[in-house]
Every structure is written in structure tokens, then in C-alpha cells.
Structure 1
Amino acid sequence: MIIHKEGKGTLGLVFIVLFAVNALVQWATENSIAQVIALAVSVVLYVIVLQFFRNPKRTVQVNPNGLICPADGKVVTIEEVYEEEVLQAKCIQMSIFMSPFNVHVNRYPLGGKVTAAVHHKGKFLVAWHPKSSTLNERTTVAVENKIWGTVVFRQIAGAVARRIVMYAKPGDMAAQGSEFGFIKFGSRVDVFLPLDSKILVKEGDVVKGAKTVLAERS
């Protein structure tokens, strides 16, 4: 299992805490059953945290006319909205909910020039709250190319995911499927695409980052 670089510090801290807890149990009691239970619970907890930071290798099939999924999860919203921060126009919003058990790597859905990359401080409402897209801690990234024009995507923190990492910088040349960020422990990614896009998924679909094609445009 490949572990993402964002998990190394957290995993180290969790290991130290669990080691200390087990050492305390060993010191406090000679009850072998209690010691075994403490060790077993610690191993399970560590494995759970470990899988949060897994980074499976993904082979990306570059598709200039396709918009690939930026994250693993489930499509929870497909609707027409007005995106006011960057596009200032009507567009299609597609939201992918990432549970704590999904891979948390976020990938560029298209290739092109990064024209915006902004981090906003905010609240930590649950990811499915209708106002989480505008009130929660979030990042906004915009990528432009000739086929898609400008596509905006947004990492949104939630009640559990309180740590967003964004690698994108204005002026960068984005490669489709490459990493642009990471959300620790889950939450949501929104994508805002042109109204004339051909949508290839529906609400409720389970999708994979860098694999599932969300939409096409010619």
C-alpha cells in the first residue's frame, strides 16, 4: 500500500499516542486480557487511519474532450447554478461526496492553465449542508483550455475533514489526472462546468478519481 505524503505526520502522531496508551496499560495492569484488548483496538484504529491516507496508483487515460472525476466518492448533486466567484455565469454544478473511507487524493479533471487558486477560511458544516459550498473552509481552482473554456472546481471541508491541502497555483500548467490537492478524512469536491456539457453520470453513481468520465464536450 502506497501512503500519501500528507499522511506521514498524522500517522506518526497516531502511532506515538497508541504506543503510549499501550505502554500505560502494560504498566497499570497485569491482566493479560486487558493488554491484548488494548493492543487489538490500537491495531484496528491504526489500520483505519492508515487506509485514510492510501494513495493507489492510477493510470490516467488523457481525454481532452472528457472531464474526468477529481475524487473518489458518490455523485450527490447535478444541477444548474450561478457560479459567482470566478465564472459569474450559469453553469452545471456536480458535487462528489467523499466519505472517510474513500481515497482522499484530488486530481485535475482537465488539462490546461490554472487561472485561479484561492483558499477561503470558513465554517465546518456537514458536507451535505446546502450552504457548505459557500460557508465552509474551501479552495477554488479554475483551469482553462480551448475545449472546455474555464472549469472551476472546489475542495470543501466538512464536519470531519478540517484540513484541506491545495497544490495548485495560478499560472501552473495542469496535467489531466495529476494531483492538485488532498482532503484529510473526507468531505466534498464540487465541479462547475459549461451548460452545454454532455453529462455522463447521474446522482447516486459511485465514481473514481482519474478514472470515471463525468462529462464530454466537443
Structure 2
Amino acid sequence: MAIGYPILAKEGTVHLIVATVLGVGATLWFGYGSIVVWIGVLLVFQFFRDPKRNITTEPGAIVSPASGKVVSISEQENPYQDNAKALKVSVFMNIFSVHSNLIPISGTIKRHWYYPGKFVNAALDKSSSENERNAICIETSAGFNVYSIQIAGLIARRILCYVKPGDTVQTGQRYGFIRFGSRVDLYMPLECRLAVKLGQWVSSGNNTIGYLPGY
């Protein structure tokens, strides 16, 4: 199932307009010397790009909520579920990744948490508990809970989340954005069947992280 988005994420509209105006001004003043500014305009565009995704329709599939590298796969206590054992998968987004965040599986937003915190390197495991973060719990129609946690990084200073408790959401739905390098953690039922490996590069919505128990 293909889901289309604007070529540019809405969060980048003002940034691109400002960058473009600076580029035009630099061209008028410096001519060919403005090339450095136009490279900056291209970098702004690539950071805020929001390409089409091909979302799986497989039952029980949990898709990646972020684009980046799988930096951690482990069994851990889920701090958002009374420290119950869960399967945790972490995806690190660098500044060249697509930074829109997608709903990993259809269901209802059951709970939402926000914690202010530090801005250490999001590639480090300690960022899961120390950094600024925003977490949601999605309850599926089968009664399973899947948790998606947006985590700010070393230079990320803004986490955006557009869903709230009670909202019905669909797999691959755009629900948030993190600016300038960050991380997303997934907590899934311990019995989930994994579909990714450590070190694998994944694309938000296009890659399946795992499958709910029984699927």
C-alpha cells in the first residue's frame, strides 16, 4: 500500500523559504560566489524531504517508525509498562535521514508521555533514559501494546508529536518529526518475531521491524 506525502515535510516550509531567499540574495550580490549558500539550500531540502512509502498490508506487521540504522536489539524492561519484559529495537537517525516518524502498527493511542532531559548522542543506549523524549502506546485490535519513543539527539532540539490518547491510527500514518539527528525506540511484546538485524539500515514505513505474536 503506497502512502504519499508532500515532497517537503511541513516542518521545513519556513526553513526552505528562508534559505531560498538567502540564496537569491547571495546570487544578486555575489553571483557565482553564492554557490555555498545554494548548497545549504539543498541540504535544507534533503533534511526535510518526505518521500512516498510503500506500507505493508501483512497482518501483525510492525513497520519501522523511523529511517536510519538499527543500533540496538535486546530484551529489556519496558519503563512505560511497569518494567515488564519487552523486545526493544532502536533506530538511529543521522542528519541525512528522513526525519518524519510513522505509526508502526494500526490501533488506538492508549497513553502518551513526555520527558524533558539531556541531549547526549542518540546513538548511545543511555539516551533512551536520559535524553528528552516523547512516548506513545498503541493498543492494537488484538489487544497487544506497541510503544514508540521519539528521542532527541546531540543536536536535535525539537520533538513534534501530532497524536493524542484516544486517536485511532493506521500503520504508516505520519505522526511526528524530530529535527536534526535523533533516535526512535520500539518496545514490542517479547514474543514478537523479528524481521531486522543489528546494523541494518531501515526506511520508515518501508521496512518491517517484526510481527506480533501469532503472525
Moved more, 117-126 or 91-100: 117-126
CA RMSD of aligned residues (A): 1.9
- From the superposition, tell whether residues 148 and 192 of structure 1 become closer, same or farther in structure 2 (CA, over 3 Å): farther
Distance 1:136 1:73, change over 3 A: same
Q: For residues 46 and 176 of structure 1, what CA distance do their matches in structure 2 show?
A: 32
Contact 2:55 2:172 in 1 (8 A): yes
Q: Are 2:171 and 1:176 equivalent residues in the alignment? A: yes
- 1:212 and 2:207 equivalent? yes
Other-structure match for 2:74 = 79
Worse-matched range after superposition: 155-164 or 59-68: 59-68
- CA offsets 1:38-71 (integer angstroms, 9 cap, x no match): x100111110111101111123232331111111
Which position in structure 1 is the counterpart of 2:120? 125
Matched, 1:94 2:94: no
Matched, 1:36 2:41: no
TM-score normalised over the length of structure 2: 0.89
Indicate the residue corresponding to 2:99 in structure 1.
Answer: 104
User: Could you list the runs of 5+ residues in structure 1 that have no partner in the other structure?
Assistant: 27-33
Structure 1 stretch 198-207 or stretch 60-69: which is displaced more? 60-69
2:68 pairs with 1:63:
no
Deviation at 1:121, TM superposition (A): 1.5
Structure-2 separation of matches of 1:122 and 1:7: 24
Query: In structure 2, the residue corresponding to 1:8 is in which secondary structure?
Result: helix
In the alignment, which of 117, 133, 139 is matched to residue 134 of structure 2?
A: 139
Tell me: CA distance 1:87–1:200, structure 2 relative to 1, closer, same or farther (3 Å): farther
Equivalent pairs counted in the alignment come to 208
- Cα distance in structure 1, aligned partners of 2:101 and 2:109: 15
Does the CA contact (< 8 Å) of 1:122 and 1:135 recur in 2? yes
- 1-structure distance, mates of 2:143, 2:123: 27
1:150 corresponds to: 145
Is the CA contact (8 Å cut-off) linking 2:154 and 2:181 kept in structure 1? no
| Structure 1 ranges of 4+ moved more than 4 A | 16-20
Q: Secondary structure at the match of 1:113?
A: strand
TM value normalised by structure 1: 0.88
Counterpart contact for 2:65–2:102, Cα < 8 Å? yes
Unaligned runs of 5+ residues in structure 2 are 1-5
Tell me, yes or no, if the aligned pair for 1:72 and 1:207 is still in contact at 8 Å. Answer: yes
Q: Larger radius of gyration, structure 1 or 2?
A: 1
Q: Distance in 1 between matches of 2:64 and 2:136?
A: 15
SS at match of 1:90: strand
Separation of aligned partners in 2, 1:113 and 1:88: 21
Identity %: 36
- What's the counterpart of residue 11 of structure 2? 6
